Amino acid sequence: MTPEDGLDNNFRYVVMAARRARQLQNGSQPLIDSRSNKACRVAQEEIAAGKVKAAQPKAQALEAIAVEPQKDMESSSEPETIL
């Protein structure tokens, strides 16, 4: 199966399928009726059916990630010592 048109790259597709397959293996119920019993194949079919979507990070979370490292660097007045 190939990545669907709604995904921007192959990596996102593989990560989504792997995470969903792990959920299925841990007891989550399938969102579709599938002829396959394999979690990976069921996950791929769910993505193809549009039942599983990639979560988009919220703008506030992205801003926090971008701002926090700068604050940490400014607050530290002493250089880090590595032995």
Instruction: Please state, in angstroms and rounded to a whole number, the distance separating the CA atoms of residues 61 and 50.
Output: 26
Q: What ranges do the domains of the chain cover?
A: 10-75
H-assigned helices in 1-83: 10-25, 39-48, 59-75
* Cβ within 8 Å of residue 34, ≥6 positions away: 41, 42, 45
Q: What is the pLDDT of residues 24-39, one digit of tens each?
A: 999 999 999 999 999 9
- Between 69 and 43, the more confident residue is 43
Q: What average pLDDT does this structure show over 4-32?
A: 87
pLDDT beyond 60 at 71: no
Contact 2, 49 (CB under 8 A): no
Q: How is domain 10-75 classified at the architecture level of CATH?
A: Alpha-Beta Complex (3.90)
- Confidence bin at 54 (pLDDT 50/70/90): confident
